[in-house]
A and B are shown apart, each in its own frame.
Chain A
Amino acid sequence: MNLLEIKNLHVSVGDRPVLQGIDLEVPAGEMHVIMGPNGSGKSTLVQTLAGSETYTIRQGQVRFAGEDLLALKTEERAHRGLFLAFQYPVEIPGLGNALFLRTIVNAIRKTRGLPEWDALDFLSRSRSALEQMGMKPELLERAVNQGFSGGEKKRNEILQMRLLEPRLALLDETDSGLDIDALRTVAHGIESMRDSQRSFLLVTHYQRMLDHLRPDRIHVLINGRMVQSGDADLAPMLEKRGYDWLLKEQRA
């Protein structure tokens, strides 16, 4: 069964078309990867799915677990189990990371009919997740992402994913800006979340994180269109040959 189904999606920023007829199906339990050159529309796609108001949907349909995703507000999409790990997580001075994490966990738990966590529950339950992500406990005491290194911000995103336990995780260049050890930790954090019901849609430029994961499908997005799909072997080929040959094929 497909958890996510995108049909003929057209999206623009102002008058400039960015996505020009995207079709994509992600079955439950699978990990799909979107690759493509800069400016091809990868981030636009995941941001649109998460409900960003920067983009205008011109045409198309998106169904998530059988429901019309585009009819839902941003927060309602999160309530249904959608999660976006941001490429550039925002810094929020004045808002403590621990309070932030506990608030979002409780917002989601409430929609699932689960009891809310108090501060003590949160501390005890987040500790193991924090350790697994190789994060120092003092990162909970700081303001959200403020003064975090690039790697710490990405780990904080994956920490949120682990705490919120989404059905579909959209990971927007989560591997960028990570050193080798951090990449392994983050990849392990993602891999350990995989199960038969949870799906992933990764946006990346590089093969290196995929070495740690076992993606089911690779899709190539160029100029707002999906031009190629294949199994996990497509990624090393793209790494070797680049995108020029696909661009030429597209022109031909």
Chain B
Amino acid sequence: MNAPLEPGGAPKPLDQRLSWEDWCSGLRAKPALQTKRDESWKYTRTRLFEWSADTPPTSLRPVIQVPKRRSGWRALSFRQAFQKAPDLLLPWVGQVARASGRVLSEWNTQAFEDGLLLEIPDGLVVHEPIEIVLSTRNPTDPACRSETGARHLFPRVLIHLGKGSQASVIERHRWGFEPRPDRSAPPGSQPQRVNTVTEILLAPDAALTHYLEQTGDGNTQAASLSAIRLGPDSHYTGYAFDASTALLRHEHHVVLSGPGSEARLEGLTLAGRGEHHDRQTWIVHACPGTSSHQCFHSIVAGQGMSIYGGQVHMKHGASGCEATQKNHHLLLDPTAQSRSRPSLEIAVDDVRCSHGSTSGALDPDSLFYLRSRGLAETQARHLLTLAFAGGFLEKLPPGALKTAWQEAVSRILPGME
């Protein structure tokens, strides 16, 4: 039953004489970044790749925080795992992301210095959410206090969920500097450039709720890849929230590689003034009886840009599958822009697929309705914008994170309106 989760080819017997450096060199032996010419990069390619060429050989290490109390699960750095749990690390790094063969994982593989391995063993049900913080906002680290010099970061995360295990993981990316009241970057600061790759493996019957929060500042240029591979009858639910980042590209790659597996993706983007947020999803139905549902919302302020590109592939033989794909852009200003590129590639007959996309300003009839009840225009607009965000927030399971994201949206929106 493990077959669909095998990495590319059978794992080779581990060579005990292999050093960390040798292993990394092996990973990096393949050609580095290629400029992909696929359509998913149509609106972001130039801006994001401007900095890839000058990536320095050494990069700043992000601060990675994980809870100290661990109820049966493990968190190891890659270097630790290389010694203590090589079978969880070596065969898998790069293998989940490789399925999609995209630029971001190759680029990260060329440069990461370490990473975080999380293991939820077979059968374990973790009740408390596991929170991982990837950040440069650490006042005790001199490198993080420095306000000059371009910084490049390549955080890497690998998560294993064993058979029948269940967990919630909150992954927080906090780049740039602590937000200032006017959201500007500190004087003299250089852009922080980040490329994060998170690979997640779900064994049969495993269930993961994955929360991804990405925030930065007016100088941050961030790319991130969440690559997930699902075994038979496993369930993945992903909630992605991103805001306050000058340039962000997030790719959500999901391979439903076991029969009966299910993925649900929800997201909210707040693209503030002049910000550029690009979300791409890529979902492969490789087995029969799999289903995927995605719904992404974005709110875009003046001069901002929000992009949604969604690809669903129904592979040959994947009969009885179901996929829905929705995205909604709310443009707060005539100078706000959005792009949607939904696509379905279906190589089998017996499937159900649908997609829908909307883009526009606030509904004038709804504005009139609220104003006729005594709300000032700014208040009415704010309430309707919050209501739009509610389309995402209301789907979150009750808990501290839902409250935190509701508060974050309420805090950020007034600056966008």
Contact = CB atoms under 8 A, between A and B. Distances in A.
A2 interface: no
Interface residues of A, number: 29
A86 B20 CA distance: 70
B368 A75 contact: no
A53 B377 CA distance: 13
B375 A50 contact: no
B397 interface: no
Contacts of A51: 368, 371-372
A107 B379 contact: yes
A164 B373 contact: yes
Interface string A74-89: 1101110001101001
A108 interface: yes
Interface residues of B, number: 25
Interface string A45-82: 00000111100000000000000000001110111000
B391 A78 contact: no
A232 to B, nearest CB: 28
A107 B366 contact: no
Given A51-B371, A90-B363, A90-B369, A95 B384 contact: yes
B365 interface: yes
Contacts of A8: none
Contact of A89 (B364, B369, B371, B375): B369
Contacts of B376: 75, 107
Given A93-B387, A94-B391, A104 B368 contact: no
Interface in B314-359: none
Interface in A174-211: none
B390 interface: yes
Of A75, A84, A96, which is in contact with the most chain B CB atoms at under 10 Å from its CB? A75
Of B377, B386, B387, B394, which is in contact with the most chain A CB atoms at under 10 Å from its CB? B387
A95 B391 CA distance: 9
Given A78-B372, A104-B375, A92 B384 contact: yes
B398 to A, nearest CB: 14
Given A90-B366, A93-B387, A93-B391, A79 B372 contact: no
B374 A107 contact: yes
B394 to A, nearest CB: 7
A68 B153 CA distance: 63
B383 interface: yes
A62 to B, nearest CB: 16
Interface of A: 50-53, 73-75, 77-79, 83-84, 86, 89-90, 92-96, 100, 103-104, 107-108, 111, 143, 160, 164
